[in-house]
Structure 1
Amino acid sequence: MKPFIRFFFRTLRIVLGPVMLLKERLSRPAALVRSADRQAEVDSQCKDLVLYQFKTCPFCIKVRHEMHRLSLPIVRLDAQHDTLNRTALLQGSGAAKVPCLRITSANGSVHWLTESGAIIDHLRGRFAV
């Protein structure tokens, strides 16, 4: 019975994954337009941020939508298929839970946000106009 259940969910992921990614692409919100100077400042601030994600995770898609809406070039790392990224996520945040935003402050300290709502609130508070 257990192999059948695994097969069912694996097939479900294979079928629904591309549909979810297509929906993400087609339903992207309009990107925020800033002046060139302000966008350059935002780009430099985003160098201290890294999003650990799974490509087809609905909560990760939600965060990526907000990143696109706010025009944020945040580095995205695959924590599902890349073992180095998954290990870094486990060591840093303590769990393989995505989405997870790694925030490195100016003094070098690292803070990890693991809830999509908290990540979106942080991005809006820091980068919304």
Structure 2
Amino acid sequence: MRIVIRYFFRGVRLILTPFMLAGPHLFKPRGIKRDPAEQQAVDQQTRQLALYHFPACPFCIKVRRAMQRLSLDVELRNAQHPGEHRQMLEQEGGRVKVPCLRIEAEDGSVRWLYESDDIIAYLDHRFGAGEAAQHSA
């Protein structure tokens, strides 16, 4: 019975994965419009961020959509397959769990933020429309 369940979910994943990968490209959220100088400042700040993700992970897709909505240019690091990104996530972050946002502070310290809702809350707080309104005032 266990093998039937395993193959059932593999089949479901095989069918849904192409749709999950194509969806964000077909239905992109509208990003925040900032003046060029402000967007350049945001881009400079996002250079200290990196998102470790799996391409078809629903929680990773949720975070990437939030990044699109906030017009953020965060480096994406695919940690699905063995390699340097997965190894760094495990060694420095402590575990292979995605999505994970690597936040490098100005003093060189690194913070690893797991959980999609926590990542989105962090990005909204730091780069959201409220933050943009504060800079323009």
Distance 1:107 1:5 in 2: 49
Count of residues in Structure 1 that have an aligned counterpart in Structure 2: 129
How far apart are the structure 2 equivalents of 1:4 and 1:54? Answer: 25
Give ranges in structure 2 of 5+ residues lacking alignment: 133-137
**Could you tell me the TM-score, scaled by structure 2's length?**
0.87
Deviations, residues 75-110 of structure 1 (Å, cap 9, x unaligned): 001110242211111112211110000000011000
The residue matched to 2:126 in structure 1 has which SS?
A: helix
Tell me what 1:32 maps to: 32
Q: What's the counterpart of residue 19 of structure 1? A: 19
Q: CA deviation at 1:9?
A: 3.0
User: In structure 1, how many angstroms separate the alpha carbons of the residues matched to 2:17 and 2:81?
Assistant: 14
How many Å separate the matches in 2 of 1:77 and 1:69?
19
Give the share of equivalent positions with the same residue, in percent: 47
Distance 2:105 2:82 in 1: 25
1:90 is aligned to: 90
RMSD of aligned alpha carbons: 1.5
Name the structure 1 match of 2:135.
Answer: none
Structure 1: runs of 5+ lacking an equivalent = none
CA distance in 1, matches of 2:24, 2:46: 22
Partner of 1:76: 76
TM-score normalised by L of structure 1: 0.92
Alignment deviations for residues 33-88 of structure 1 (CA, whole Å, 9 cap, x no partner): 10100000001111000000000111101100110011100000111024221111
Distance of 2:82 and 2:42 partners within structure 1: 28
Q: Partners of 2:117 and 2:92 in 1: how far apart?
A: 19
